[in-house]
Amino acid sequence: MSLDRGVDEFLASLRAERGLAPATISAYRRDLGQWVAFLEGREPTPAEASAWVASLSRKGLAPATIARKVAAVRGLHRFLVAEGLAGEDPTLLLEAPRRGRSLPKALTVEEVLRLLDSPDPATTLGSAAGTRPCSSSSMPPGPGWPRRWVSIRSTSTWRAPAPW
């Protein structure tokens, strides 16, 4: 079977079984079309897959874009093997480039001063959101407080206990 026909069956499967949106199917079709065009009729092999990823990097594509394209091609070949339409998956050991992590943005001097001037919620009996001192921490309630009265999860509101 030709790879073009395999792509068509894969996309039909995505549409029918996973209910993907038309725009998502279109993006898959575009990414897979680039893979098929890169192969120029050659058999997909692990070496071809690695060369394709390297060519995408040389074109200056963002790592996230390359990762999306690699995910589409991996999905195609996994589908072809699972359906018995291909003998082996050439993308099994293919690695996409790692996505860079951005550093957190530093606070301005004004933001730091505003934070320092704000009231400490741990020392106030409530805030505008209606929270209580223990309600947004994992701190256990004090003696005499039934544990069910205090929400240990981080929430913006305090809830009274259920009557039962």
Inside any domain, residue 103:
no
Counted domains in the chain: 2
Q: What is the C-alpha separation between 84 and 87, in angstroms, rounded? A: 7
Question: Looking at 52, 82, 112, which one is the last position of a domain?
Answer: 82
Instruction: Assess whether 66 and 135 both reside in one domain.
Output: no
Instruction: Assess whether 60 and 129 both reside in one domain.
Output: no
- For the chain, 164 residues long, give each residue's pLDDT as a single digit of tens: 689 899 999 999 999 999 889 999 999 999 999 999 999 999 999 999 999 999 999 999 999 899 999 999 999 999 999 999 888 999 998 887 777 777 888 888 888 888 888 876 665 554 444 444 445 555 555 555 555 544 445 455 555 555 55
Instruction: Assess whether 68 and 127 both reside in one domain.
Output: no
**Amino acid found at 143:** P
Domain containing residue 154? 120-164
Inside any domain, residue 113:
no
Inside any domain, residue 11:
yes
